[in-house]
Chain A
């Protein structure tokens, strides 16, 4: 099992928003839901490798800023054209005000 990596402070991300996190040559997107829960996915859209952190979070959806492809950021599921391939998701926990993700 991989170690937990600190991605950011919990209050670095507004509710219903997303933040980019780069680590080890990879990029991730960290989400804070309207219910104040945290989630993490791959940072690039599976369609054309655009940073999802520039997109729009609506409820449990992240919309890609380039072609408006939609994913459920809680499950990584692609929700329709032009995205067809799901995002990989990562376990997240908040500890002492810090958001930690477990990168496999």
Chain B
């Protein structure tokens, strides 16, 4: 079983300091000029406008639900009644922080910058992503989206390691790596890959935050030992594991199974229609092509942006289920042929892909 699902050695070198890093530079894929749909300046200005209202409303609901579900879980601790409360608490803690981290990192959720910063710091702690190193890794992700050797945030590399994908739903490996990174950063160590995208002057802040977090986790563990109860860890730390499922469920669909080494977001990103609860948790990042093409547009304006430019984009995936119906077979096929990918079809109204800018071999592997 493990042999069937495990990755064979990849011909792609995903290291940020390896062979494909130089190849991406040589092929003009690093810091390239990406395709954008034309949107009149007046309309784009309207879409980019910032407002505190929607994010304040959503943050009050989010924090209120966190407090209530956490209190409910603690109140019913020791009985089965705590399970639904911790299900909600964990999802809000371990999944909705993925989108809060992301949107506030872009600085688009709120108009008021300190509000973006405050929610960013809180969400980073909960999702266990160092706010300094991850800000810079995400900057690179937007510069070189799914460019092998350049993008540090390629969630599923080819051929896909499906055991790792499954484990991500319960946060086991992510949590382990996050704790190792926190300890490493606390010791003042920034690795070679991080040095390629984190400026030197930012390093002391990354170290300070890691040390602060380590102190918080140490205090939580001490409290658990002192009280002889697992409860403190159910409220701080572990929800990153047992609540990770939703952000992995939605995150895999962002780029999973699509082209790599192309400079057109319509080819390597996926827009998926989702239910309102998932969109609240995910802060509309299901409009992922739109987000990558225009990262200045706040999450609450993405549905309007989608309506404006959908004539130039591949048809959106109609649901999460439909997304997995195409992604899972693509992953299985990539186990045998890592060059295989899902090629997006454009509507007749769209401007065509510039095939000459895409990897010829990869294009041939697609169907």
**Residues of chain A whose beta carbon lies under 8 Å from any beta carbon of chain B:** 17, 48, 54-56, 58, 63, 65-68, 70, 81-82, 84
Whether a CB of chain A sits under 8 angstroms from the CB of B54 is no
Return chain A residues, CB-CB under 8 Å to B45: 17, 56
Chain B CB within 10 Å — which of A54, A65, A68, A81 has the most? A81
B202, A81: Cβ atoms closer than 8 Å: yes
Q: How far does the alpha carbon of A82 sit from the alpha carbon of B294 in the complex, in Å?
A: 17
Whether a CB of chain A sits under 8 angstroms from the CB of B65 is no
B136, A81: Cβ atoms closer than 8 Å: yes
Q: How far does the alpha carbon of A58 sit from the alpha carbon of B113 in the complex, in Å?
A: 11
Tell me whether chain A's interface is mostly helix, strand or loop, or mixed.
loop
Return chain A residues, CB-CB under 8 Å to B136: 81-82
Whether a CB of chain A sits under 8 angstroms from the CB of B22 is no
Q: What is the distance, in angstroms, from B340's C-beta to the closest C-beta of chain A?
A: 31
A82, B296: Cβ atoms closer than 8 Å: no
Known: A67-B142, A84-B199. A48 touches B50 (CB 8 A): no
Indicate with 1 or 0, residue by residue over B161-202, a CB within 8 angstroms of chain A CB atoms: 000000000000000000000000000000000000001011
A70, B107: Cβ atoms closer than 8 Å: yes
Q: A67-B143, A68-B296, A82-B136 are in contact. List 8 more A-B contacts (CB 8 A).
A: A54-B44, A56-B49, A58-B50, A67-B142, A67-B295, A68-B107, A68-B108, A68-B295
Return chain A residues, CB-CB under 8 Å to B50: 56, 58
**Residues of chain B whose beta carbon lies under 8 Å from any beta carbon of chain A:** 31, 44-45, 48-50, 106-108, 111, 113, 132, 135-136, 139, 142-143, 199, 201-202, 294-296
A68, B143: Cβ atoms closer than 8 Å: no
Q: What is the distance, in angstroms, from B28's C-beta to the closest C-beta of chain A?
A: 15
Tell me whether chain B's interface is mostly helix, strand or loop, or mixed.
helix
B31, A48: Cβ atoms closer than 8 Å: yes
Known: A48-B143, A56-B48, A65-B296. A84 touches B201 (CB 8 A): yes
Q: How far does the alpha carbon of A54 sit from the alpha carbon of B139 in the complex, in Å?
A: 18
Which B residue's beta carbon lies closest to that of A63? B296
Return chain B residues, CB-CB under 8 Å to A17: 45
Return chain A residues, CB-CB under 8 Å to B143: 48, 66-67
Q: What is the distance, in angstroms, from B143's C-beta to the closest C-beta of chain A?
A: 6
Chain B CB within 10 Å — which of A48, A68, A84 has the most? A68
* 3 nearest CB pairs, A to B: A56-B48, A82-B139, A68-B107
Return chain A residues, CB-CB under 8 Å to B201: 84
Return chain B residues, CB-CB under 8 Å to A82: 135-136, 139
Provide 26 A-B residue pairs closer than 8 Å at the C-beta atoms, listed in order of the A residue: A17-B45, A48-B143, A56-B45, A56-B48, A56-B49, A56-B50, A56-B296, A58-B50, A58-B111, A63-B107, A63-B296, A65-B294, A65-B295, A66-B142, A67-B142, A67-B295, A68-B106, A68-B108, A68-B296, A81-B132, A81-B136, A81-B139, A82-B135, A82-B139, A84-B199, A84-B201
